[in-house]
Structure 1
């Protein structure tokens, strides 16, 4: 898997005043190294990796800084991470941070965000643009209704892609998607990655061609039991888990108590008539069974 290397420098002045630098030692793995001409620091020689950008990872300050989001974002940059956060606590924000940093570190690389439905896909495009300001000209939404030849051109000219996993599977199978250029894959609703789900097929096809990509999986509910959770972890090549619940100390300040109001809606004339007809048929079969 990709180990994106960085060295945060306190003295570095970023052009963007709304950026945040975080100090961290250089992370390394057994691999070939090349010398960085700017600082003399060595970095892994991954194809397309920009060692000058790797000196820092950027975190936005145009939103309130939440400690748990920063910590999870940092972890997700350097490990294949399953992020389990209650709804409304910023999973998309974390994904945007990770995507933007890989967008910087790999200037020719491709970033993929997968969501299970088209409405979710469209929603994530806007969110990622607002959080990190990835140029909209570099982003694309791919759907099954887009002609295959047109999708091939989009894969060549764009860098950040939002799509459903089924579209991704199709484009990988047709070799429309340049698998070896994929550097970061974000998977929304990751608990669906069970059995032969399209999410699982995407990771299998990608990993058969390259292992130099980061995986970030997002879910509010990773699974109903330990077996399901382990299947998700295995299917998505997860090596690290960031788990928070409503009771976690670092999110309690940002988690609001829920107020549930029960509203009983009357069926209305049409539905009441259908209900009566259904009960009439059901009572016939129930009486038939009772006779036996």
Structure 2
């Protein structure tokens, strides 16, 4: 059976119960959809978009993905499945000219925009995008929504500006640590999480299954000699740190985590003005971390990858690399690495497995994952020498040495893989996310994936339409052993984490303003005729509330005036300000003041009652006086602030939880606000709904 819908082309989307269920949830509110690779996350986004376009004539949809190939792939899929023309679905990336981008954002006839998040955010800051026009924002590969990534900032602006926002996040795995998943949920304003695993009954009927096995190898003697030299270099430096009390655990127990923690302590001392030997200690720890990476390369990758890395260190301008490359033990490592000509035993194991599989299934596609580009290069070289049709699939690699590919080359390569020009694709991490890579009968991990996300994404490249097979190569008594166990543990842990977080957020609801848009009626905030709902007593006149085309007024001047005007409205309280009063209190031209007031009304921050304009925050606060708090900004850190509430206790304030003038977020600033205090993961946090007076 196929999906039957006015916006969906007949016989193009298979009707699957689990997808239908997820679509229904996504239409109710901001939703995070977690579904293994190749089980139809994009289809879910298409069906949600189709329903909203059908329900609300004039609304628009924004679909975002982190790379240009993914953006183009989404556009191709939407055009294939939905009843929209090519002119109604436009792809926008940084490579598209500014004039074309501005036209696409401003054209009501463009119903679905496909974009990279950074391009969308940059164009929004230029004033080209009116987020309230969009009934849905789709965030693909949304596990990237961390810290200051463009996804996070766009989601926050969208929820703030659109009276009825709807967010849809898509990922195969949001993470394997509860704290990180919770960060994604908060950053995207998620109200509901829906997920399925391969074991779920309603999903398992659509997948034939995957058989997973692993092959263990021992590293050869000449590799062991190089590893021993690297270990000696590490231990010499750790003992030096021990003598000065920087590290207080036995040498054999020192690891990356302990060193990174020590580095954080030292950096804090340096920031407070205590430098001296601390700069030397920082460089020494950096040397050790570089040596750890070298050890991992000889254990898990290939001597060629190690030699390339040592060459990078020798030519680096970093202080720690200069110190390291000038040391006697580093020169010893280089000499030993130069002598070794042997392949890593994983290469032989990989070739044997590929040969065996193709002898049984000569028409199968095979995908090999390797973390390091130089290792991928060796794999392709060895396979090609043996007569196999193998090609390398890697990213753009800005700032990296070694081989790299443009996005056009990536698209062309996948097309050739699909058409059978070659049948073995050797990919770095770029092969893990979202891209429409043809299903493979066999997938090989050159090294175990420590990340639960990467394990799930890699495995998802096989076993979707036909039974698949996965082989994981492991070097015994190396870092591979730990990565193998940890990656599997994290992948299995995900469902439990999602269940825990779902319970924590079950009562969270994003505030929506005004009446809910009714099915069949035009989207209230569409560009053609924007009517801003205010109060029953009065509405804003059309010439004051409709979208104002770009004029000669600078965006900077408009932003400053708007900020000052909003503060004046807050100070005026419930009595409000007339336009004449606003003009007399501000030093900007009448056109700038009028446009600023119109923007405040349009964005739902103010309403007009009779001849007066009143801040909506004041109106809401007058109805909820028990939630008003005195706020003092104690300290501002990158990504959050610490505030003192009512001079009684401290709370953490995240950017996404603050709704008020940004210029108030500075040390020493004081204001009253309508706010909610809550505990998240044991930390007292504050959500500031409205700033009432500053």
- Asked whether 1:20 is paired with 2:4, we answer yes
Matches of 1:209 and 1:291, distance apart in 2 = 56
Q: Is 1:141 matched with 2:125?
A: no
Which residue of structure 2 lines up, in the alignment, with residue 285 of structure 1?
233
**In terms of mean alpha carbon deviation, does 204-213 or 167-176 score higher?**
204-213
Alignment size in residue pairs: 234
Matches within 5 A, 1:127-138: 127-138=77-88
Correspondence for 1:183? 135
Measure the CA separation in 1 of the matches of 2:231 and 2:146.
Answer: 39
Q: Which residue of 2 aligns with 1:79?
A: 29
Partner SS, residue 63 of structure 1:
coil
Give the drift of 1:213. 2.4
Where 2:202 maps in the other structure, the secondary structure is coil
Any idea what the Cα deviations from partners look like across 1:20-61, whole Å, max 9, x if unmatched?
Answer: 36xxxxxxxxxxxxxxxxxxxxxxxxxxxxxxxxxx997965
**TM superposition shift of 1:149:** 3.0
2:63 & 2:207 partners in 1: Cα distance? 26
Cα deviation, residue 100, structure 1: 1.6
Structure having the larger proportion of residues in helix: 2
Matches within 5 A, 1:116-265: 116-157=66-107, 158-260=110-212
Q: Aligned-pair distance for 1:244?
A: 0.6
Deviation for aligned residue 1:237: 1.3
2:50·2:82 contact (CA, 8 Å) conserved in 1?
Answer: yes
239 and 58 in structure 1: CA distance in 2 versus 1, 3 angstrom threshold: farther
CA distance in 1 between partners of 2:214 and 2:79 (Å):
37
Report Cα offsets for 1:143-164 as digits up to 9, x if no partner.
1122323211111222211111
Runs of 5+ consecutive residues of structure 1 not aligned to the other structure: 1-17, 22-55, 265-274
Query: Per chain length, whose mean CA-contact separation is higher, i.e. which structure has more relative contact order (CA < 8 Å, sep 6+)?
Result: 1
Change (3 A) 1:251 1:289: same
Q: 1:58 to 1:119 in 2, by over 3 A?
A: closer
**Counterpart Cα distance in 1 of 2:52 and 2:238:** 66
Deviations 1:75-105 (A, max 9, x none): 2122211111111111101111111222222
1:256 Cα offset (Å): 2.6
> Structure 1 290/247 Cα, relative in aligned 2: closer, same or farther at 3 Å?
closer
Describe the shift of the 1:225–1:262 C-alpha distance in structure 2 as closer, same or farther (beyond 3 A): closer
* C-alpha displacement of 1:190: 1.1
Root mean square deviation of aligned Cα: 3.0
Question: What is the TM-score of this pair, normalised by structure 1?
Answer: 0.70
TM-score, normalised to structure 2's length? 0.31
**1:91 is matched with which residue?**
41
Structure 2 gap segments, 5+ residues each: 217-222, 241-694
Q: Residue 39 of structure 1 aligns with which residue? A: none
SS at match of 1:68: helix
3-state SS, counterpart of residue 201 of structure 2: coil
Deviation string for 1:244-277 (max 9, x for gaps)? 111111111012311357799xxxxxxxxxx89x
| Cα 1:283–1:242 shift into 2, 3 Å | closer
SS at match of 2:75: helix
Partner Cα separation in structure 2 for residue 207 and residue 60 of structure 1: 34
Q: SS at 1:187's partner residue?
A: strand
CA shift in 2, pair 1:100/1:57, >3 Å: closer
Change (3 A) 1:193 1:290: closer
